[in-house]
Structure 1
Amino acid sequence: MIPEDLKVSLTRDQTIRLVPFFATWLMYYLLYMPITGYPPETLGSVFFKLLPMAGLVFYIISASLDFKGFPTAKTWIPKDHRQRNFLFGMMASAVGDACLVWRNTLFIPGLLAFAVGHVFYFVGLEQCGKNSRTRELFILLGIDVFLFFQPAFNSYVMTALVALYVSLIFSMAWRATAWYESDGSKSSMAGCAGALLFVLSDGLIAIDKWYVPLPFVGSMVMSTYFGAQLCLAVSTTRDLK
């Protein structure tokens, strides 16, 4: 049984706006996610991989409109600081998604696109609580993670890029944790869960790429990744219960 304080209840309108995400997520898994390994490196795989992200973009825009009506050309950019930056973070992540279909040849462009996404998420969380008792913990975790993977890098460029990326994702995770710590709302809980799932998903990619092949790695990575983005999108809901 899930404790009441950890449950999230969505209204009918909120649930309906998530239908495109769940429908396209299932479609992507059925068509392009093998039980083991990664999806094929094809344009079709890119297209169906981006559909769930488009569904989450639609949800964030709908949340900015309080789920009244549908987005128009004049209302697709939210006025709210967090919603706007999370929207841009999702769009940058979608670019990274497309690049990582070709996970070897376009790994660095994908890494940079996700780094930009984390910058937007971090900025979006800027007003959500700056003080946290976990800040030093995330600093130490980030340093430990980088030092763990650093011997596997074969160039100074990759070392610098991963150092940058680790600092950004752990900074974003810290800020999301600080938000939940200071606010305690269901929205902040969803944001914190999304940030931590993002760290887990990227950790699985790194272990599989630089240390040891993991069984069912594609399914594990995409499940935690889409779960992370779902939680971050849901956290933009103002009246989340």
Structure 2
Amino acid sequence: MTGNLLIKLLPFLISCIVYFALKLPEPSALAALVKCFPTLYLAFLVAIQSHSAGAWTPYSRRVFQGLLLSAVGDACLVWPQLFLPGLAAFAACHISYILAFGLTPFRPLVFVVAVGAVFVAYIYLVMPCLNGISLWAETASKVPLSMMAWRALSHPGRQLSTSFGSLLFFASDLFYGIETFCSFLPHSRFLIMSTYYTAQALFTFSVASQKAFRKES
């Protein structure tokens, strides 16, 4: 199954290479399409993989929804005036992933570490550069992000791919905040999007592993 999945991921990998190679100027509809295509393809792959395996589970559906909402956020952030709708789309995406990963077990130590790490990094590296509505919006957006990381990291044995994925998603968000609000970040485009695309691919990979997870449980 893993080898077959890797072959199916080839269009995703090619579309990522195309995104980095073209370096299309933003904002534009073409730039939005090229940027969103890798995530949209992953959503398509989740749907196809789940249906063909007869495992269109709540987990698969919520990861699928999260990927679609991420693509909406990607498109919005191409246009600066759509920054707030973009944040809202990503907040909804994180909520979908939270529901996918489940709310048990609670893991209070993981909660403290995950939430603390997200907010400490944000407070020291990004918050000093913010003011007005962007300050409140960015602060609020870290709540679902940190909750998503907490829930993903609460299942290290069963869902190692989602644990790594959540950390990469957090890194991508942090890179984006530094580049957008604070100062020039060398190779920011590559850092932001490579960590982001890899995180989404890991979440997608976890869907293919759900059958094995259910057997273990």
Contact 1:96 1:111 in 2 (8 A): yes
Match of 2:43 among 54, 57, 72: 57
2:90 corresponds to: 114
The Cα shift of 1:151 comes to 3.0
User: Is 1:205 aligned with 2:182?
Assistant: no
Match of 1:22 among 13, 17, 31: 13
User: Is 1:228 aligned with 2:188?
Assistant: no
- How far does the alpha carbon of each residue in 1:141-191 deviate from its partner, in whole angstroms, 9 at most, with x for none? 233234323332221x322222221111011001100011xxx13xx1111
Mapped to 1, the partners of 2:202 and 2:104 lie a distance apart of 16
Give 4+ residue runs of structure 1 displaced > 6 Å after superposition: none
Contact 2:47 2:56 in 1 (8 A): no
Q: 1:31 to 1:206 in 2, by over 3 A?
A: same
Q: 1:112 to 1:58 in 2, by over 3 A?
A: same
Match of 2:26 among 20, 30, 40: 40
2:65 corresponds to: 88
Mapped to 2, the partners of 1:116 and 1:99 lie a distance apart of 14
Mapped to 1, the partners of 2:28 and 2:85 lie a distance apart of 17
Normalising by structure 1, we get a TM-score of 0.79
Matched letter for residue 120 of structure 2: D
Mapped to 2, the partners of 1:143 and 1:152 lie a distance apart of 15
User: Is 1:10 aligned with 2:14?
Assistant: no
Tell me the SS of whatever aligns to 2:9.
helix
Tell me the SS of whatever aligns to 1:198.
helix
User: Is 1:162 aligned with 2:138?
Assistant: yes
Contact 1:10 1:240 in 2 (8 A): no
Equivalent residues in 2 for 1:136-155 (5 A)?
136-148=112-124, 149-155=126-132
Matched letter for residue 98 of structure 1: A
- How far does the alpha carbon of each residue in 1:203-235 deviate from its partner, in whole angstroms, 9 at most, with x for none? 001111222211111111111111111111111
Determine what percentage of the aligned residue pairs are the same residue: 27
Equivalent residues in 2 for 1:98-113 (5 A)?
98-102=75-79, 104-113=80-89
- How far does the alpha carbon of each residue in 1:117-154 deviate from its partner, in whole angstroms, 9 at most, with x for none? 11111111115643253211123223323432333222
**Gap runs ≥5 in structure 2:** none
Mapped to 1, the partners of 2:6 and 2:211 lie a distance apart of 13
Contact 1:49 1:98 in 2 (8 A): yes
Contact 2:162 2:203 in 1 (8 A): yes
Greater share of helix residues, 1 or 2? 2
Of structures 1 and 2, the one scoring higher in RCO (CA 8 A, sep 6+) is 1
**Gap runs ≥5 in structure 1:** 1-8, 34-38, 69-77
Normalising by structure 2, we get a TM-score of 0.88
Match of 2:154 among 168, 172, 178: 178
Mapped to 1, the partners of 2:140 and 2:34 lie a distance apart of 29
